[in-house]
Structure 1
């Protein structure tokens, strides 16, 4: 039993009733401005995710009964966010467990996966700095790292949270950094692009994504992806004949790309170079715009 074409999330373009199946990725009890509880869900199909809300006295009961990564039949109304145009959620009336469904309808996959891989490969070839090229080749010629990188998610929940999401996010950051480097001539373009490629490399060891359920590994919880990524790249660079300045510059980009330490987003050190500042802004832009567009 497959979903109707018009009931895929990417097809939502008007306010209308809906009865269709969705995979539940997140559930939470929230409260209105008048302190009344309501159920908020993140619903998924293969084309994306959407917020579903249920304002009902039985919200707590529904919350207790529902299971994450289970498919449910959602009965309700697609409605446009009042404060945004072309952005929709689902006002839910009823939730029923689905027993028959096509699993492929709910597994998110990268569109044009091979094109994303080719974009990354071509970008690495464009790097002219010989030391930076050595580092990138050492990383991506490692078959284990390469295979993990093109399949890993970029997050459990916040953005690009699906298999291959890390590759998509990385390419977005690369593209933003390429634009930045054409505007500001004094930026070291090769260094900035190298940082864009490697900034989230630690996520290949942060998440367990063997199934549709993405979980954070123990090392991801205890060490975080910036530190893990720094360790991966430092180990690779220690085996290369490159300058200490290059090693420090790359490590600084990885360890500072979440912005100033006092933001509490996980950076080990404040961004101290123009490339580090640019990388942080590019990474933040990719994450925030994607999250806004997807949910």
Structure 2
């Protein structure tokens, strides 16, 4: 048997017992032939959706709502030769501002109308080598009511929701343009991929699920809404990687969409080069200032 604290739901058949944080996407109360209550709980991540059964409400250690992250412990049981999953502990994940030690593999595939695209975006995410950028992407999308809307959000208004009219397809489209550019350094590539996943996340506030403008969407720009959603995760970068904070925040605040609605790749590359040069200049100036200060102290 495999041992795992947080296995992907696609691999739980190999486990007798597991625990972790997953999206609860449904909970239905049923009754046995004897009239006893049974709760059918649906859990989902980016790899699968499974049903777990609870026979005692005392195993619910807190209230919870659908489409929220829960901490659950499950064991495999057998009844009349058939294996089923039984809940032995269930509690809502503490709603801190940020969810740590969890990545976007946890996004619920059951809420995504185009599962293959979510799988591709998760694979794209895992291609990022920089751990700080991966953390920002994960912390952003795992905030309450962000990831569940992100996987099912249109990218244009007054257009029918489709495989090409969703945030996931847009992220993949932009990322593939970046990946085809072999001149990017490893650092620039990671930054470009993180940007491609996050750059339109503000649309979850600007648009409704039926492709119409929301109340706040009428008044606010996408870039402002994106920065608002990313604000707390980005703030964490100021200490761990000031350069990435400076660059990613600037890129997310800049509109790269042309008048025709297409993404301006050349403008993005120009901005990326400018940011790299600007940061190097800042570092040189900071180094010179320290040197001058040290020389002044030594001459005293």
Larger CA Rg, structure 1 vs 2: 2
Task: State the TM-score, normalizing by the size of structure 1.
Answer: 0.46
Task: State the TM-score, normalizing by the size of structure 2.
Answer: 0.45
Whose relative contact order is higher, 1 or 2, with alpha carbons under 8 Å and at least 6 apart? 1
